[in-house]
Chains A and B, each alone.
Chain A
Amino acid sequence: GAGVSQSPSNKVTEKGKDVELRCDPISGHTALYWYRQSLGQGLEFLIYFQGNSAPDKSGLPSDRFSAERTGGSVSTLTIQRTQQEDSAVYLCASSLGAPGTSGRGGEQFFGPGTRLTVL
Chain B
Amino acid sequence: KQEVTQIPAALSVPEGENLVLNCSFTDSAIYNLQWFRQDPGKGLTSLLLIQSSQREQTSGRLNASLDKSSGRSTLYIAASQPGDSATYLCVCTGGGNKLTFGTGTQLKVEL
Contacts and interface: CB of A to CB of B under 8 A. Distances in A.
A91 B89 CA distance: 14
A110 interface: yes
Interface string A38-79: 000011010010100000100000000000000000000000
Interface in B16-72: 31-32, 34, 36, 41-46, 49, 51
Nearest to B36: A110
A91 B97 contact: no
B45 A43 contact: no
Interface in B74-93: 89, 91, 93
Nearest to A97: B97
Interface residues of A, number: 25
B46 A100 contact: no
Contacts of A115: 41
Interface stretch (A13-21, A80-88, A101-109): A101-109
A45 B49 contact: no
A107 B31 contact: no
A110 to B, nearest CB: 4
Nearest to A104: B49
A91 B43 contact: yes
B98 to A, nearest CB: 8
Given A48-B97, A106-B93, A93 B51 contact: no
Given A102-B51, A104-B49, A42 B93 contact: no
A110 B44 contact: yes
A72 B93 CA distance: 22
A86 to B, nearest CB: 19
